Amino acid sequence: MSYIHIENAGKTFIENDTEFTALSDVNLDIEKGEFICLLGPSGCGKSTLLNAIAGFDLVNHGSVQIDGKEVTSPSTKNVTIFQNYGLLPWRNVIKNVELGLEAKGVDKDKRHEIAKKYLKLVKLEDFENSFPRQLSGGMKQRVAIARALAVEPDIIFMDEPFGALDAITRMKLQDDILDICKNEKKTIIFVTHDIEEAVYLADRIVVMTPNPGKVKGVLTVPLHHFRDRTSGDFLLVRDKIFDLLNMKLEDNIEYNI
């Protein structure tokens, strides 16, 4: 069986006495070391699916298994990176990176050493004594990435991590994250609504559509790292996604009477 195994997973909410289906009948298998993007418009259930795999909000139909075990709660082995960073504003950068290590019971000197190593990896070694409020959005997200990597997780969940950043910073961080996961060999599940971002990053793209949230199709991206955003192959994959999302224009037929 594959590393992450999702079978007939669904989630329904009851709101004002009416049942609302956020996610319906998802079947998905993810292998170790894959970079998966969950792509779709808002309301397609991509974050719901991510939260279910991460253990924050469990599904109420079907099953979600990691490494053969049903997911029932968040695990310290899998770390989530949020869009709004989730840094603790009263701790400086290095103390934020050390947070997960403290809970693991790593002693002080070792913690410091590990945190320094990962801050260097995200190129923030000169900011270890700064506070989150003094950093730009991109830098904050890099601190969050360093904090996640510091506990050496098996899986990293990313919930629209670059959604609040400007386009140029976002591209830079995309390159950084590709670099990092090539070196660290993590399984990454990445939620985004940005088609280009998905094509640029993913090994496989799970395209989702809303009402109810479901998987429309899974696309393998036949490109290798480093990808050229303007190459023909890149555009071809984009084109396929447009197709899946029904965003291509129909041929217009003109009637002349």
Q: List interacting residues with another protein (CB under 8 A).
A: 54, 56, 73-74, 76, 78-80, 82, 84, 86-90, 99-100, 102-104, 131-133, 151
Residue 172 and residue 96: Cα distance in Å, rounded?
A: 22
Q: Which CB, 43 or 74, lies closer to another protein?
A: 74
Q: How far is the CB of 11 from another protein (least distance, A)?
A: 17
* Nearest one of 222, 192, 187, 186 to 204, comparing CA atoms: 222
Q: Which CB, 33 or 89, lies closer to another protein?
A: 89
Which residue, chain included where needed, has tokens 């949020």? Answer: 82
Q: How far is the CB of 134 from another protein (least distance, A)?
A: 8
Q: How far is the CB of 113 from another protein (least distance, A)?
A: 18
Q: Which CB, 73 or 256, lies closer to another protein?
A: 73
Q: How far is the CB of 133 from another protein (least distance, A)?
A: 4
Q: Which CB, 80 or 192, lies closer to another protein?
A: 80
Q: Which CB, 23 or 79, lies closer to another protein?
A: 79
Residue 203 and residue 98: Cα distance in Å, rounded?
A: 31
Q: How far is the CB of 144 from another protein (least distance, A)?
A: 9
DSSP line for 86-135: ---TTS-HHHHHHHHHHHHT--HHHHHHHHHHHHHHTT-GGGTT--GGGS
| 3 state SS of 167 | helix
Neighbours of 120 (CB within 10 A): 13
Computed from CA positions of residues 155, 159, 162, 165, in that sequence, does the dihedral angle turn out positive or negative? negative
